[in-house]
């Protein structure tokens, strides 16, 4: 659908409104994305406005992406990294009436997906996200500032959950009683994480932090992964964030929005593809402690997402957009079923991890 946006935004980037066509694009939860096509040249760009309720300091995103772009440009000039195109005044973002905008080139012949229909897609995505992790392994991640403080800090997410629990009405708590019980039951995931989180063999690394499949561009013809996009949460974190969110979002044929939880089962061959693709790049870099945490990464991320949805439900749905009143509760049920699937299939999954580590000859 064609849309119009503030002319000043266009002029900040040297475009004339009459010379471009703008259309809404993509399916993300957080930002607004537009495809901009220049009439005369046919050249295409992605124009996005940043959600400042989520990213309270968008300048930090721009700074982080620039630091990483400069590092990659210096050390790996061949690597395709989708950095921002500066405004005519040379700024990383255009700020118009308090709204932050950024422009990037549209990667030609690319396509993104919301769901995976072939384990090769999981392999390609894990390879690409793993490659970014690998190329940044020598980058000093402490230079990056947090674009969302405590984004993947399970301790903070757990506290936000218990705070929401205290404030929620009896009626809401009643509706979510079963899921609240499950969330409390799985607290041992947080306790386990706390037992090693300060280990020197569990370092902070520059992580993407949102490795869902829609953040990967594929070549329309070869179906090979081209590059990763959506760099808003590129900041210091643990490797479990990137590997774990791939498990969370690739293993099941249905997304977190599927309300029929009998459909939430895992696809073992996708698990193997993720682990193989990721180890292909990161196998030589992960520490022995990190290698022990490969399967745990999925449990951590799924549990965290479940309590994020549950917290939002208890808070009256203020963060995740919903299409119906109980959607965040349904998403919570969906994620707990997925988590249960990892535990139910633990033995098979552990065997696969060990097999992959052996094949990659990185077994510690």
Interface residue list for ligand GN1 (CB under 6 A): 28-30, 54, 148, 210, 212, 233, 256, 305
Q: Taking CB under 6 A as the criterion, which residues in 17-46 touch ligand ADP? A: 25-26, 28, 30-31, 33, 46
Q: How far is CA 7 from the centre of its chain?
A: 31
Under DSSP, is residue 226 helix (H, G, I), strand (E, B) or coil? strand
Q: Does 332 bind Mg ion (CB under 5 A)?
A: no
Residue 282 beta carbon to ligand GN1: minimum distance, rounded to whole angstroms: 21
In sequence order, what are the residues at sequence separation of 6 or more whose Cβ sits closer than 8 angstroms to the Cβ of residue 47? 5, 9, 13, 22, 33, 34, 35, 36, 101, 102, 103
Pick one of Mg ion, ligand GN1, ligand ADP, none as the site partner of residue 255 (Cβ within 5 to 8 A by kind): none
Instruction: Assess contact for 260 and 321: CB atoms under 8 A.
Output: no
Residue 329 beta carbon to ligand ADP: minimum distance, rounded to whole angstroms: 23
Owner of token pair 């404030």? 167
Residue 81 beta carbon to ligand ADP: minimum distance, rounded to whole angstroms: 11
Q: How far is CA 300 from the centre of its chain?
A: 14
Q: Taking CB under 6 A as the criterion, which residues in 199-238 touch ligand ADP? A: 214-215, 217, 229-230
Q: Does 259 bind Mg ion (CB under 5 A)?
A: no
User: Which one-letter DSSP state was computed for residue 2?
Assistant: B
- Token pair recorded at residue 35: 């495809």
Ramachandran region of residue 215, left (φ > 0), alpha (ψ -120 to 50) or beta?
A: alpha
Which residue number is nearest to ligand GN1 in terms of Cβ? Answer: 29
Q: Does 245 bind Mg ion (CB under 5 A)?
A: no
Owner of token pair 């266009």? 10
Residue 215 beta carbon to ligand GN1: minimum distance, rounded to whole angstroms: 6
Residue 116 beta carbon to ligand GN1: minimum distance, rounded to whole angstroms: 15
Residue 57 beta carbon to ligand GN1: minimum distance, rounded to whole angstroms: 13
Exposed, middle or buried, 142 (CB in 10 Å: 0-12/13-18/19+)? Answer: exposed
> 20: which strand partners?
38
In DSSP notation, 278-347 reads: HHHHHTTTS-HHHHHTHHHHHHHHHHHHHHHHHHHHHTTS-SS--SSTTHHHHHHHHHHHHHHHHHHTHH
- Token pair recorded at residue 60: 């930090």
Q: Does 28 bind Mg ion (CB under 5 A)?
A: yes
Pick one of ligand GN1, ligand ADP, Mg ion, none as the site partner of residue 54 (Cβ within 5 to 8 A by kind): ligand GN1
Residue 230 vs 242, nearer CB to ligand ADP? 230
Instruction: Assess contact for 123 and 131: CB atoms under 8 A.
Output: no
Pick one of ligand GN1, Mg ion, ligand ADP, none as the site partner of residue 268 (Cβ within 5 to 8 A by kind): none
Pick one of Mg ion, ligand GN1, ligand ADP, none as the site partner of residue 305 (Cβ within 5 to 8 A by kind): ligand GN1
Residue 27 beta carbon to ligand ADP: minimum distance, rounded to whole angstroms: 7
Find the helix or strand (DSSP H, E) in which 171 lies: helix 170-175
Instruction: Assess contact for 204 and 142: CB atoms under 8 A.
Output: yes
Residue 248 beta carbon to ligand ADP: minimum distance, rounded to whole angstroms: 15
- Token pair recorded at residue 43: 């050249």
Among 11, 37, 38, 110, binds ligand ADP (CB under 6 A): 110
| Binding stretches for ligand ADP (CB under 6 A) | 25-26, 28, 30-31, 33, 46, 82, 104, 106-107, 110, 112, 214-215, 217, 229-230
| Binding stretches for Mg ion (CB under 5 A) | 28, 215, 230
């Amino acid at each position: 659908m064609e849309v119009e946006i503030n002319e000043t935004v266009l002029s900040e980037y040297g475009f004339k409104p009459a010379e471009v066509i703008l259309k809404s694009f993509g399916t993300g939860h957080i930002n607004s994305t537009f495809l901009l096509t220049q009439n005369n040249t046919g050249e295409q760009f992605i124009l996005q406005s940043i959600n400042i309720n989520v990213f309270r300091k968008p300048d930090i995103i721009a700074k982080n992406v620039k630091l990483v772009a400069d590092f990659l440009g210096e050390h790996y000039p061949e690597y395709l990294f989708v950095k921002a195109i500066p405004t005519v005044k040379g700024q990383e973002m255009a700020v118009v009436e308090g709204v932050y905008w950024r422009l990037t080139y549209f990667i030609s012949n690319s396509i993104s997906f919301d769901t995976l229909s072939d384990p090769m897609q999981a392999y390609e995505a894990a390879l690409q996200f793993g490659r970014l992790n690998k190329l940044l392994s020598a980058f000093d991640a402490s230079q990056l500032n947090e674009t969302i403080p405590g984004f993947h800090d399970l301790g903070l997410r757990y506290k936000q959950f218990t705070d929401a629990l205290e404030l929620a009405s009896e009626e809401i708590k009643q509706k979510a009683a079963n899921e609240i019980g499950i969330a409390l039951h799985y607290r041992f995931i947080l306790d386990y994480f706390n037992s090693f989180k300060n280990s020197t063999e569990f370092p902070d690394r520059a992580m993407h932090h949102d490795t869902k499949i829609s953040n990967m561009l594929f070549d329309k013809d070869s179906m090979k992964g081209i590059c990763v996009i959506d760099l808003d949460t590129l900041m210091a974190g643990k490797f479990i964030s990137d590997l774990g969110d791939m498990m969370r979002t690739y293993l099941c044929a249905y997304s977190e929005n599927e309300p029929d939880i009998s459909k939430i089962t895992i696809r073992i061959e996708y698990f193997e593809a993720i682990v193989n693709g990721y180890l292909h790049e990161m196998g030589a870099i992960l520490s022995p402690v990190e290698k022990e945490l490969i399967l745990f990464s999925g449990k951590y991320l799924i549990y965290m997402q479940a309590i994020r949805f549950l917290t939002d439900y208890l808070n009256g749905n203020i963060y995740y957009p919903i299409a119906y009143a109980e959607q965040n509760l349904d998403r919570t049920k969906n994620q707990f079923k997925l988590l249960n699937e990892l535990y139910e299939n633990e033995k098979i999954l552990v065997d696969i991890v060990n097999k992959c580590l052996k094949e990659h000859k990185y077994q510690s």
